[in-house]
Structure 1
Amino acid sequence: MLLKDKIKEYQGSTIQHGPYNDRIYLMRLADHASADFPRQLISLAETKGYAKIFAKVPKDASADFMQVGFEKEAEIPGFFTGRTSALFMGYYLNNARKQEDDVARLENILHIAEDKQKTAVPPPDSRFRLRQCLEGDVSEMAAIYDQTFASYPFPIHEPAYLLETMQTHVAYFGAEIDGKLAALASAEMDREAANVEMTDFATLPEQAGNNLSLHLLHRMEKAMLEQNISTAYTIARAASPAMNITFARAGYIFAGRLKNNTNISGSIESMNVWYKSIY
């Protein structure tokens, strides 16, 4: 089993890299990164033998990336403090990584989701209690994630990881029934940039069909408004009709697709980016 990719500082920027996702993920670009930084990322990827670089970059810093072959795969307006757009960019060192085998299916799922954007949302089932998760929940949460995902880009099946992130920048939420958690989601906050990634959605199979992800999403949006967050977004499996429909029904806008980007549910998959202004 491959070890999870590591997050580290590189030339003042924050990256995640490793063989698990077979990529470098530029998570945060340093404010004063040099114009040569994109070439340095490519050099690192070549040295490590990775197939892709995925970079999240302020639009006003994107030209240096485009000049060396990075391509825009998605764009979120107002990502940074509600003012500056973010480009989600891809650079492919292996042409096979760029080729999607199921383009027609992924496009069909997107069209289905977008057609659902004006579908009425039923009220939450009164049997479920929606609440923010606490430190004492992490073992139960890890078990749910372990049951739900055959693989995941971050170690959410480890209680220690959930506890560490809960204590720093991630608010986890759950739907509880009969004193036990039945569904989970998280809000990964970048308070400085005033954005939040709505992610880590998982529902136990026996509770499918209760719209728990959709109601957790609405609950998280209310909580993020209290944190002065202005933009919410997600990076959802492009092959998952349920998650794409969930975000479309909640009023999120499709921003683009990241090709063969993430090791999730047992293989490298393409991911759809959705966003919403919540202030």
Structure 2
Amino acid sequence: MMRELKVFQEDRVVSATDFTMNVSLDFFNERLKIEDYRGNVESIHKQIVRLLEDHPFTKVIVKSRQEDWKHFLTLGYQFEAIFTGFFNGNDAYSMAMFTENARRTSEYWVYEDETLQQVKELSRSLDVPADPSYTIRKAEASDAAALADLYQAVFEIYPTPMNDPDYIHKLINHHSIFYVAVYEGKIVSAASADIHSTYNNAELTDCATLPEHRKKGLMKMLIAKLEHELKEQQIYCAYSIARALSFGMNAVFHQRYYEYKGRFTNNCNIYNKLEDMNLWVCDLSRRK
């Protein structure tokens, strides 16, 4: 069963005379995320330290502007990955600060490097497989309960409450696009695009397939549909954060010409533990 938590995340804007920043208190994953900011970097860091006094998270993540990442480096942060084109075409540098050695240390890093190298040896193609046994379609709000059942079946733990139909219903009605694969009337695979309309980027996420329907190319079909929708909306920065231990999901994005842009250490609770996550980014404007 997925763990239950009344409040997964709390978003707030924190401002003073010399800065403002968008903060996510991510209780489920025990991390503090700064998704956007303006102003004095020193003051922003001091506010982060104050927030950690009230919320003793073990990881801080800042999406730094290109001109500030070296400044964050001098304040004790370290570079993890680069979101190319994230801010309306400008890059975002993911900077991390840890408050515990256990959160900073990954026991799977070398194995994940080996997996990544195996993935990069795979040939690339935008060809999409076809299987008449499956129907690929855009999800509707009425699919929320079936999607929740899918995520409950696939993931013991997931970093967002995807086993909650109400949560999925809100996503579909607001800023997320879901595509599903249906087999004999049942949703057996799904993926979504979470759109950031201010900066015109999208995260391809919530990828799940029932075990008995894997290795049939379903995720490639779903990702291709999502990419088409994003291009229709003139959103060209597409990225995904995949489990570094998962050969299959990393392979999907490599084969569709996404580029590996770094790894997040002990980033989120997924499956049954905190896991490292790989970042894959694609500029869809270069797609024919």
The two structures have a TM-score, normalised by structure 2, of 0.90
Matched, 1:181 2:187: yes
Question: Superposed, which structure 2 residues align to 1:94-173 within 5 Å?
Answer: 94-118=100-124, 121=127, 123-173=129-179
Please, what is the CA RMSD of the aligned residues?
A: 1.8
> More displaced, 114-123 or 190-199?
114-123
2:21 and 2:206 mapped to 1: Cα distance?
Answer: 24
**Residue matched to 2:8:** 5
Q: Is the 8 A contact 2:31 2:58 kept in 1?
A: yes
2:128 and 2:9 mapped to 1: Cα distance?
Answer: 41
Task: Give the drift of 1:220.
Answer: 0.6
**Residue matched to 1:21:** 29
2:168 and 2:239 mapped to 1: Cα distance?
Answer: 20
Q: Is the 8 A contact 1:78 1:231 kept in 2?
A: yes
2:41 and 2:104 mapped to 1: Cα distance?
Answer: 27
Q: Is the 8 A contact 2:128 2:224 kept in 1?
A: no
Amino acid of the structure 2 residue aligned with 1:8: D
Tell me which of 79, 83, 95 is aligned to 1:76.
Answer: 83
Which 5+ residue runs of structure 2 have no aligned equivalent?
Answer: 15-19
Matched, 1:240 2:239: no
2:279 and 2:41 mapped to 1: Cα distance?
Answer: 27
Which 5+ residue runs of structure 1 have no aligned equivalent?
Answer: none
Task: Return closer, same or farther for 1:71/1:248 CA change in 2, 3 Å cut-off.
Answer: same
1:34 and 1:73 mapped to 2: Cα distance?
Answer: 18
Tell me which of 90, 93, 110 is aligned to 1:87.
Answer: 93
Task: Give the drift of 1:129.
Answer: 1.6
Q: Is the 8 A contact 1:114 1:248 kept in 2?
A: yes
1:257 and 1:117 mapped to 2: Cα distance?
Answer: 22
1:165 and 1:6 mapped to 2: Cα distance?
Answer: 15
Matched, 1:42 2:49: yes
Q: Is the 8 A contact 1:54 1:261 kept in 2?
A: no
Q: Is the 8 A contact 2:61 2:97 kept in 1?
A: yes
Task: Give the drift of 1:39.
Answer: 2.5
Figure out how many residues of one structure are paired with residues of the other and give that number: 277
**Residue matched to 2:227:** 221
Amino acid of the structure 2 residue aligned with 1:37: I
Q: Is the 8 A contact 1:39 1:68 kept in 2?
A: no
* 1:16 aligned counterpart, secondary structure: strand
Task: Return closer, same or farther for 1:19/1:195 CA change in 2, 3 Å cut-off.
Answer: closer
The two structures have a TM-score, normalised by structure 1, of 0.93
* 2:167 aligned counterpart, secondary structure: helix
Task: Give the drift of 1:122.
Answer: 5.6
Amino acid of the structure 1 residue aligned with 2:220: L
Q: Is the 8 A contact 1:38 1:64 kept in 2?
A: no
Q: Is the 8 A contact 2:195 2:201 kept in 1?
A: yes
Q: Is the 8 A contact 1:22 1:51 kept in 2?
A: yes
